[in-house]
Chain A
Amino acid sequence: MARVVLMVGSLAILGAAGWASWTGVGAVSSDAAPSARTGSTGGAFVGGARRVK
């Protein structure tokens, strides 16, 4: 029984790790996450920035 629990648990860990790796969980910076959007850094672009190609 303990062996089955270990096998199922380890497969669940592998599946979760695979999903998290594939979808990029943790690859988003905390200050650039949707919940942290401010829309502006507050000053750098006041008056506009020059456009480059």
Chain B
Amino acid sequence: MTAADAVRAIDCPNCGAGLDVLGGGRVVTQVCGYCGAQLDASDAYRVLKVFGDLPRPASPFSLGMSGEVRGVAFTVIGTLGQSETWGGETWAWVDHMIYSPTHGYAWITVEDGHVLLTRKVRDFDGTFLTSAAVERSEQRPGRHWRGRSYQYYATSNWRTDYVEGAFNFRPAVGDRGTTVSMMPGGRAVDMLHFVEGAHGAGEREVEVSRYAPELAAAFGAEAPRPQGTHPLQPYVPRAGTGFLAAWFGGLVAAALLGAIVVLGARGAERLLWEGVADAGGVMVPFELTATDRPARLRIETEVDQSWTWLGVEVEGPDGPVFGTGREVGYYSGGSGEDRWSEGSRRTAIGFVPGAAGPHVLRLAVEEGDRASERVRVFLRERQTNATWLLGAALLFGLAAAWFASAALRHRKRRWAGGDWTDEDDD
């Protein structure tokens, strides 16, 4: 039994505050949470340094809290306030050292309301990944651990801003270090950390983290409210996501089927007239049988490097149905890859039939490069417009894709905070 095991509480030799002694025999430092005095636990709690009155970082965990991690009892023994500043922006998080008499030391991290569990890795037999190696690497660095492939995620140059409690090393305000983090692809959610300066300058350690929101309840702490998506956060589908993806997929099929039915319900297109129209105009009698849906006149010409303005009128049993005009022009040039064309030789007019019965189409060349044009006129009754159903199918397709891609979008958000940029992305 060590001295630390025997002693349960001390009075801070700097300020006199009562301090619980937590953390077992490997604790070498106790930092007073009242005055910031760093005490040497291996030398009768001699004052090593005083950090002053530092603001305690917000965290739902506090010293002395106990809880079970995978069935093993742990106690919160230390708190580190950490931060990283880069590009004018600062990220802050809190690391709590936890201790189990049977399983040793680990960390609970609270970052943007997300709770993580971190422990030391003792069986990593690959090459330690340094930030310098990352800088030199032309491809995203990778490592293997326990049969799983990890890809580089980000480098953090951190600083310790706050220290309180007991530790198995000697942390100090102002300590700096670097952590290179890697994550596996796919759905696996753990993170390997290659930490330089973990227990003092020059010390290296490999750690692994996992997402552990259950620890708040396990330690009797108030569950923090997570902000955004954490890189370690596993995908938890919202209720009904799969159902809604299938629902909208079904609606896509229904809308497409409806579009096919609607297209098939159109009347057959028939040739009304073919001949040469001129300024004098032609009168084309025809019969309209259906008035429940629009009819459509399609006019084809043979204009080439020219244009014409066609006057079009339709008169029905009840009088004029419509009277309008259309410009038709077609120009082209060049050859091979430089070939170009503009305009069109055809036009169409959709109209609402007034009444069934005999109608007359009047067609004339009113203006243009030539006095007459060869024209073919087609008529389709019972016109439908499948565009609406096709548009609905597109809308439903987007909705189905949105719900079906929820896991993929979550994965993208997890990796969005990484700092690796491929050369090709520049």
Contact = CB atoms under 8 A, between A and B. Distances in A.
A39 to B, nearest CB: 4
Contacts of B275: 52
Per DSSP, are chain B's interface residues mostly helix, strand or loop, or mixed? mixed
Contacts of A44: 279, 281, 311, 313, 362, 364, 366
Given A14-B254, A32-B350, A49-B364, A27 B322 contact: no
Contacts of B273: 52
Given A14-B251, A52-B283, A25 B324 contact: no
Interface stretch (B105-113, B197-205, B220-228, B386-394): B386-394
B385 A25 contact: yes
Contacts of B395: 13
B240 A26 contact: no
Contacts of A23: 293, 384
Interface string A19-48: 011111111110111101111111111010
Contacts of A6: 244, 247
Contacts of B366: 41, 43-44
Interface residues of B, number: 56
Contact of B364 (A20, A27, A34, A45): A45
A9 B297 CA distance: 36
B281 A20 contact: no
Given A3-B243, A24-B384, A36-B322, A10 B396 contact: yes
Interface in B287-334: 293-294, 296, 311-313, 319-325
Contacts of A13: 392, 395-396
Contacts of A11: 251
B255 A17 contact: yes
Contact of A32 (B283, B293, B311, B324): B324
Contacts of B313: 40-41, 44-45
B276 to A, nearest CB: 10
B320 A40 contact: yes
Contacts of B391: 17
Contact of A10 (B248, B279, B323, B349): B248
Interface in B350-371: 350-352, 354, 362-364, 366
17 contacts: A3-B244, A14-B258, A22-B262, A24-B294, A25-B385, A28-B352, A31-B349, A32-B324, A33-B322, A38-B324, A39-B320, A41-B311, A44-B281, A49-B281, A49-B362, A50-B283, A52-B284
Given A21-B386, A22-B293, A52-B284, 7 more contacts: A3-B240, A17-B391, A23-B384, A44-B279, A44-B364, A51-B282, A52-B282
